[in-house]
Amino acid sequence: MLQIATYNFKAILEGCLSLVPGGKRLFRRGTRGSESARYCYSVWLRHVVRTQMYRKVPLDGVVVELGPGDSLGMGLAALLSGARQYIAVDVVSHASAIHNLAVFDELVRLFSERAAIPDGQEFPLIKPDLDDYAFPEEILDQQCLARSLAAERLAAIRASLLGEGPEVGEPLVRYVDPNTAEALIEANSVDWVFSQAVLEHVDDLIGTYGACHAWLKPGAITSHDVDFKSHGTSRVWNGHWAYPDLVWRLLRGRRPYLLNREPCAVHLQGMADAGFEILSVERVRKPSQLRRAQLARRFRSIGDDDLTTASAFVVARKPAGDKLGH
Protein backbone atom coordinates (compact mmCIF):
# COMPACT_ATOMS: atom_id res chain seq x y z
CA MET A 1 0.00 0.00 0.00
CA LEU A 2 1.17 3.54 -0.76
CA GLN A 3 1.09 4.77 2.83
CA ILE A 4 3.43 2.02 4.07
CA ALA A 5 6.34 3.92 2.52
CA THR A 6 5.79 6.66 5.10
CA TYR A 7 5.84 4.34 8.15
CA ASN A 8 8.55 4.59 10.80
CA PHE A 9 8.97 0.91 11.70
CA LYS A 10 11.33 1.74 14.59
CA ALA A 11 8.53 3.76 16.22
CA ILE A 12 6.09 0.88 15.68
CA LEU A 13 8.54 -1.54 17.31
CA GLU A 14 9.01 0.78 20.29
CA GLY A 15 5.24 0.93 20.73
CA CYS A 16 5.02 -2.86 20.65
CA LEU A 17 7.81 -3.10 23.26
CA SER A 18 5.79 -0.87 25.58
CA LEU A 19 3.08 -3.55 25.60
CA VAL A 20 5.31 -6.19 27.21
CA PRO A 21 5.48 -6.40 31.05
CA GLY A 22 7.60 -3.55 32.35
CA GLY A 23 7.90 -1.98 28.92
CA LYS A 24 5.90 1.12 29.80
CA ARG A 25 8.72 2.30 32.07
CA LEU A 26 10.94 2.75 29.01
CA PHE A 27 8.89 5.76 27.99
CA ARG A 28 8.89 7.76 31.20
CA ARG A 29 11.52 10.02 29.73
CA GLY A 30 11.89 13.77 29.65
CA THR A 31 10.36 16.07 27.10
CA ARG A 32 13.46 18.16 26.23
CA GLY A 33 13.21 21.79 25.12
CA SER A 34 11.80 23.26 28.35
CA GLU A 35 15.00 22.33 30.23
CA SER A 36 16.67 25.51 28.89
CA ALA A 37 16.05 28.82 30.66
CA ARG A 38 16.51 30.73 27.40
CA TYR A 39 13.96 28.47 25.69
CA CYS A 40 11.42 29.11 28.46
CA TYR A 41 12.14 32.85 28.43
CA SER A 42 11.61 32.96 24.66
CA VAL A 43 8.38 30.95 24.72
CA TRP A 44 6.82 32.86 27.60
CA LEU A 45 7.61 36.32 26.21
CA ARG A 46 6.33 35.32 22.76
CA HIS A 47 3.01 34.37 24.36
CA VAL A 48 3.00 37.67 26.25
CA VAL A 49 3.76 39.80 23.20
CA ARG A 50 1.35 37.98 20.90
CA THR A 51 -1.63 37.86 23.27
CA GLN A 52 -1.28 41.56 24.10
CA MET A 53 -1.91 42.27 20.42
CA TYR A 54 -5.45 40.93 20.75
CA ARG A 55 -6.32 41.69 24.35
CA LYS A 56 -4.55 43.42 27.23
CA VAL A 57 -3.86 40.50 29.54
CA PRO A 58 -3.17 41.21 33.23
CA LEU A 59 0.13 39.63 34.22
CA ASP A 60 -0.44 39.79 37.99
CA GLY A 61 -3.04 37.03 38.28
CA VAL A 62 -3.17 33.22 38.40
CA VAL A 63 -1.49 31.48 35.47
CA VAL A 64 -2.04 27.81 34.55
CA GLU A 65 0.30 25.96 32.20
CA LEU A 66 -0.67 22.69 30.56
CA GLY A 67 2.18 20.18 30.18
CA PRO A 68 5.27 22.10 31.39
CA GLY A 69 7.65 19.21 30.64
CA ASP A 70 11.20 19.00 31.98
CA SER A 71 11.11 22.24 33.95
CA LEU A 72 8.65 24.79 35.25
CA GLY A 73 10.63 27.48 33.47
CA MET A 74 7.76 29.07 31.56
CA GLY A 75 5.72 29.31 34.75
CA LEU A 76 8.70 30.75 36.62
CA ALA A 77 8.98 33.33 33.83
CA ALA A 78 5.30 34.12 34.43
CA LEU A 79 6.03 34.66 38.15
CA LEU A 80 8.96 36.92 37.27
CA SER A 81 6.54 38.87 35.06
CA GLY A 82 4.32 39.47 38.09
CA ALA A 83 1.93 36.49 38.24
CA ARG A 84 0.42 35.96 41.68
CA GLN A 85 0.42 32.16 41.38
CA TYR A 86 1.54 29.54 38.86
CA ILE A 87 -0.13 26.13 38.55
CA ALA A 88 1.49 23.46 36.36
CA VAL A 89 -0.79 20.67 35.13
CA ASP A 90 0.93 17.59 33.70
CA VAL A 91 0.03 13.92 33.29
CA VAL A 92 3.66 12.90 34.02
CA SER A 93 5.84 14.66 36.60
CA HIS A 94 9.11 15.41 34.75
CA ALA A 95 10.54 18.44 36.54
CA SER A 96 12.99 18.33 39.47
CA ALA A 97 13.44 21.01 42.15
CA ILE A 98 17.22 21.21 41.63
CA HIS A 99 16.86 21.73 37.89
CA ASN A 100 14.06 24.25 38.41
CA LEU A 101 16.29 26.32 40.71
CA ALA A 102 19.03 26.44 38.08
CA VAL A 103 16.51 27.53 35.43
CA PHE A 104 15.06 30.08 37.86
CA ASP A 105 18.45 31.68 38.59
CA GLU A 106 19.13 32.08 34.87
CA LEU A 107 15.65 33.52 34.29
CA VAL A 108 16.23 36.08 37.05
CA ARG A 109 19.40 37.19 35.23
CA LEU A 110 17.59 37.45 31.88
CA PHE A 111 14.75 39.53 33.31
CA SER A 112 17.13 41.70 35.34
CA GLU A 113 19.10 42.49 32.18
CA ARG A 114 15.93 42.98 30.11
CA ALA A 115 17.52 40.56 27.66
CA ALA A 116 16.21 40.42 24.11
CA ILE A 117 13.85 37.54 23.32
CA PRO A 118 15.85 34.65 21.80
CA ASP A 119 14.82 34.60 18.15
CA GLY A 120 14.62 32.14 15.28
CA GLN A 121 18.37 32.01 14.85
CA GLU A 122 18.71 30.41 18.28
CA PHE A 123 15.39 28.56 18.42
CA PRO A 124 14.11 28.09 14.86
CA LEU A 125 11.30 25.75 15.94
CA ILE A 126 9.69 28.03 18.54
CA LYS A 127 6.48 29.68 17.38
CA PRO A 128 4.97 32.18 17.05
CA ASP A 129 7.45 34.36 15.21
CA LEU A 130 7.65 38.00 16.26
CA ASP A 131 8.26 41.17 14.29
CA ASP A 132 10.46 42.55 17.07
CA TYR A 133 12.49 40.49 19.57
CA ALA A 134 13.47 43.38 21.83
CA PHE A 135 12.48 43.03 25.49
CA PRO A 136 8.84 44.22 25.74
CA GLU A 137 9.43 47.27 27.97
CA GLU A 138 5.99 48.65 27.17
CA ILE A 139 4.39 45.55 28.74
CA LEU A 140 6.88 44.71 31.49
CA ASP A 141 7.89 48.17 32.61
CA GLN A 142 10.39 49.17 35.29
CA GLN A 143 7.76 49.36 38.03
CA CYS A 144 6.44 45.87 37.24
CA LEU A 145 9.92 44.33 37.23
CA ALA A 146 10.90 46.14 40.44
CA ARG A 147 8.06 44.32 42.19
CA SER A 148 8.55 40.92 40.59
CA LEU A 149 12.35 40.93 41.03
CA ALA A 150 12.37 42.23 44.61
CA ALA A 151 14.56 40.17 46.95
CA GLU A 152 11.62 39.06 49.13
CA ARG A 153 9.66 37.99 46.07
CA LEU A 154 12.56 35.95 44.67
CA ALA A 155 13.10 34.29 48.05
CA ALA A 156 9.40 33.36 48.22
CA ILE A 157 9.49 31.77 44.75
CA ARG A 158 12.61 29.78 45.68
CA ALA A 159 10.98 28.57 48.89
CA SER A 160 7.85 27.52 47.03
CA LEU A 161 9.93 25.55 44.51
CA LEU A 162 11.55 23.67 47.38
CA GLY A 163 8.26 23.15 49.22
CA GLU A 164 9.46 25.38 52.04
CA GLY A 165 6.89 28.15 51.73
CA PRO A 166 4.65 29.32 54.59
CA GLU A 167 1.92 26.93 55.68
CA VAL A 168 -0.75 29.64 55.42
CA GLY A 169 -2.01 30.97 52.12
CA GLU A 170 -1.67 29.64 48.60
CA PRO A 171 1.81 28.52 47.44
CA LEU A 172 3.29 30.51 44.57
CA VAL A 173 4.02 27.30 42.64
CA ARG A 174 1.84 24.20 42.41
CA TYR A 175 2.51 21.10 40.28
CA VAL A 176 -0.51 18.81 39.88
CA ASP A 177 -1.87 16.04 37.66
CA PRO A 178 -5.06 16.61 35.64
CA ASN A 179 -7.31 14.77 38.14
CA THR A 180 -5.99 16.83 41.05
CA ALA A 181 -6.36 19.99 38.99
CA GLU A 182 -10.11 19.39 38.63
CA ALA A 183 -10.54 19.48 42.41
CA LEU A 184 -7.87 22.11 43.11
CA ILE A 185 -8.58 24.86 40.57
CA GLU A 186 -11.80 26.72 41.28
CA ALA A 187 -14.12 27.81 38.50
CA ASN A 188 -13.70 31.40 37.30
CA SER A 189 -10.43 31.82 39.25
CA VAL A 190 -7.67 31.80 36.61
CA ASP A 191 -6.43 34.76 34.57
CA TRP A 192 -4.52 32.92 31.85
CA VAL A 193 -4.14 29.32 30.61
CA PHE A 194 -1.38 28.58 28.12
CA SER A 195 0.58 25.73 26.58
CA GLN A 196 3.43 25.21 24.14
CA ALA A 197 3.51 22.13 21.86
CA VAL A 198 1.36 20.17 24.31
CA LEU A 199 -2.25 19.89 23.11
CA GLU A 200 -1.30 17.62 20.21
CA HIS A 201 -0.47 15.03 22.91
CA VAL A 202 -3.74 15.31 24.88
CA ASP A 203 -6.20 12.47 24.31
CA ASP A 204 -9.23 14.14 25.93
CA LEU A 205 -9.42 17.43 24.06
CA ILE A 206 -13.09 17.97 24.88
CA GLY A 207 -12.44 17.61 28.60
CA THR A 208 -9.28 19.72 28.45
CA TYR A 209 -10.82 22.66 26.62
CA GLY A 210 -13.86 22.42 28.86
CA ALA A 211 -11.66 22.54 31.97
CA CYS A 212 -9.75 25.55 30.63
CA HIS A 213 -13.01 27.37 30.01
CA ALA A 214 -14.32 26.51 33.48
CA TRP A 215 -11.12 27.65 35.23
CA LEU A 216 -10.80 30.99 33.46
CA LYS A 217 -12.43 34.16 34.72
CA PRO A 218 -14.99 35.71 32.36
CA GLY A 219 -13.09 37.77 29.79
CA ALA A 220 -9.80 35.94 30.44
CA ILE A 221 -7.45 34.58 27.76
CA THR A 222 -6.05 31.23 26.74
CA SER A 223 -3.14 30.84 24.28
CA HIS A 224 -1.75 27.64 22.79
CA ASP A 225 0.87 26.74 20.24
CA VAL A 226 -0.10 23.33 18.80
CA ASP A 227 2.34 21.27 16.74
CA PHE A 228 0.63 19.07 14.13
CA LYS A 229 3.75 17.34 12.81
CA SER A 230 4.40 13.61 13.17
CA HIS A 231 7.02 13.94 15.96
CA GLY A 232 9.17 11.21 14.46
CA THR A 233 6.36 8.64 14.22
CA SER A 234 6.59 8.78 10.42
CA ARG A 235 9.19 9.33 7.71
CA VAL A 236 7.37 12.48 6.57
CA TRP A 237 6.13 15.45 8.58
CA ASN A 238 2.41 14.66 8.26
CA GLY A 239 2.74 10.89 7.85
CA HIS A 240 0.99 10.15 11.16
CA TRP A 241 -2.24 10.69 9.21
CA ALA A 242 -1.35 7.73 6.97
CA TYR A 243 -1.53 5.09 9.74
CA PRO A 244 -4.71 2.99 9.94
CA ASP A 245 -6.11 2.88 13.49
CA LEU A 246 -4.86 -0.67 14.17
CA VAL A 247 -1.26 0.16 13.22
CA TRP A 248 -1.44 3.39 15.20
CA ARG A 249 -2.60 1.49 18.31
CA LEU A 250 0.48 -0.73 18.02
CA LEU A 251 2.71 2.31 17.56
CA ARG A 252 1.14 4.07 20.55
CA GLY A 253 1.34 0.98 22.73
CA ARG A 254 1.24 1.85 26.43
CA ARG A 255 3.21 5.06 26.24
CA PRO A 256 1.82 7.60 28.72
CA TYR A 257 1.35 10.08 25.85
CA LEU A 258 2.11 10.35 22.15
CA LEU A 259 -0.10 12.15 19.61
CA ASN A 260 -3.87 12.50 19.35
CA ARG A 261 -3.49 13.06 15.56
CA GLU A 262 -6.28 15.64 15.51
CA PRO A 263 -5.87 18.35 12.84
CA CYS A 264 -6.20 22.07 13.50
CA ALA A 265 -9.92 22.25 12.69
CA VAL A 266 -10.73 19.75 15.47
CA HIS A 267 -8.88 21.89 18.03
CA LEU A 268 -10.63 25.05 16.91
CA GLN A 269 -14.01 23.33 17.03
CA GLY A 270 -13.20 21.96 20.48
CA MET A 271 -12.43 25.44 21.75
CA ALA A 272 -15.59 26.85 20.21
CA ASP A 273 -17.71 24.02 21.63
CA ALA A 274 -16.23 24.68 25.08
CA GLY A 275 -17.48 28.26 24.81
CA PHE A 276 -14.37 30.13 23.69
CA GLU A 277 -14.31 33.01 21.26
CA ILE A 278 -11.37 32.49 18.88
CA LEU A 279 -9.43 35.76 18.57
CA SER A 280 -6.54 34.66 16.35
CA VAL A 281 -5.17 31.62 14.53
CA GLU A 282 -1.62 31.93 13.16
CA ARG A 283 -0.89 28.89 11.00
CA VAL A 284 2.59 27.74 9.99
CA ARG A 285 2.31 25.88 6.70
CA LYS A 286 4.35 23.15 5.03
CA PRO A 287 3.58 21.47 1.70
CA SER A 288 1.89 18.12 2.27
CA GLN A 289 4.18 15.16 1.71
CA LEU A 290 1.19 12.85 1.33
CA ARG A 291 -1.18 12.37 -1.57
CA ARG A 292 -4.77 12.04 -0.44
CA ALA A 293 -4.75 8.35 -1.49
CA GLN A 294 -2.02 7.77 1.13
CA LEU A 295 -4.15 9.03 4.01
CA ALA A 296 -5.75 6.52 6.34
CA ARG A 297 -9.49 6.23 5.80
CA ARG A 298 -10.42 8.31 8.86
CA PHE A 299 -8.31 11.24 7.62
CA ARG A 300 -9.24 11.30 3.93
CA SER A 301 -11.82 14.01 4.50
CA ILE A 302 -9.30 16.33 6.14
CA GLY A 303 -9.36 19.75 4.51
CA ASP A 304 -6.49 20.97 2.37
CA ASP A 305 -6.05 23.82 4.85
CA ASP A 306 -5.38 21.39 7.70
CA LEU A 307 -3.33 18.99 5.60
CA THR A 308 -0.72 21.74 5.16
CA THR A 309 -0.87 23.20 8.71
CA ALA A 310 2.30 22.17 10.54
CA SER A 311 1.54 24.22 13.65
CA ALA A 312 -0.83 26.92 14.84
CA PHE A 313 -0.72 29.59 17.55
CA VAL A 314 -4.25 30.16 18.84
CA VAL A 315 -5.48 32.94 21.09
CA ALA A 316 -9.01 32.58 22.49
CA ARG A 317 -11.14 34.36 25.05
CA LYS A 318 -13.77 33.27 27.52
CA PRO A 319 -16.68 35.67 26.87
CA ALA A 320 -17.12 38.26 29.58
CA GLY A 321 -20.67 37.16 30.36
CA ASP A 322 -19.89 33.42 30.51
CA LYS A 323 -19.32 32.31 34.12
CA LEU A 324 -19.88 28.57 33.88
CA GLY A 325 -17.75 25.90 32.25
CA HIS A 326 -19.30 23.57 29.68
Separation between Cα atoms, residue 245 and residue 182, nearest integer Å: 30
How many Cα neighbours within 13 Å face the side chain of 52? 14
pLDDT in tens, the chain (326 residues): 556 778 888 888 888 888 877 655 555 554 454 679 999 999 999 999 999 998 888 899 999 999 997 789 999 999 999 999 999 998 766 567 888 999 999 999 999 999 999 999 999 999 999 999 999 999 999 999 999 999 999 999 999 988 776 555 678 999 898 889 988 999 999 999 999 999 999 999 999 999 999 999 999 999 999 999 999 999 999 999 999 999 999 999 988 789 999 999 999 999 999 999 999 999 999 999 999 999 999 999 999 999 999 999 999 999 998 776 44
Residue 276 CA to chain centroid, in angstroms? 17
Cis peptide preceding 128, ω within 30 of 0: yes
**What's the pLDDT score for residue 326?**
45
How many Cα neighbours within 13 Å face the side chain of 172? 27
Q: Which residues pair with 88 in a beta bridge?
A: 65, 175
**What's the pLDDT score for residue 166?**
59
Count the neighbouring beta carbons within 10 Å of the beta carbon of residue 56. 10
**What's the pLDDT score for residue 182?**
86
* Domains (range + CATH), the chain: 2-317 (3.40.50.150)
**What's the pLDDT score for residue 248?**
94
**What's the pLDDT score for residue 95?**
63
Query: Could you tell me the pTM of the whole model?
Result: 0.91
Mapping DSSP onto H, E and C, the string for the chain reads: CHHHHHECHHHHHHHHHCCCCCHHHHHCCCCCCCCCHHHHHHHHHHHHHHHHHHCCCCCCCEEEEECCCCCCHHHHHHHHCCCCEEEEECCCCCCCHHHHHHHHHHHHHHHHCCCCCCCCCCCCCCCCCCCCCCCCCCCCCHHHHHHHCCHHHHHHHHHHHCCCCCCCCCCCEEEECHHHHHHHCCCCCEEEEEEECCHHHCCCHHHHHHHHHHHEEEEEEEEEEEECCCCCCECCCCHHHHCCHHHHHHHHCCCCCCCCCCCHHHHHHHHHHHCCEEEEEEEEECCCCCCHHHCCHHHCCCCHHHHCEEEEEEEEECCCCCCCCC
Separation between Cα atoms, residue 95 and residue 103, nearest integer Å: 11
Closest by alpha carbon to 135, among 88, 80, 85? Answer: 80
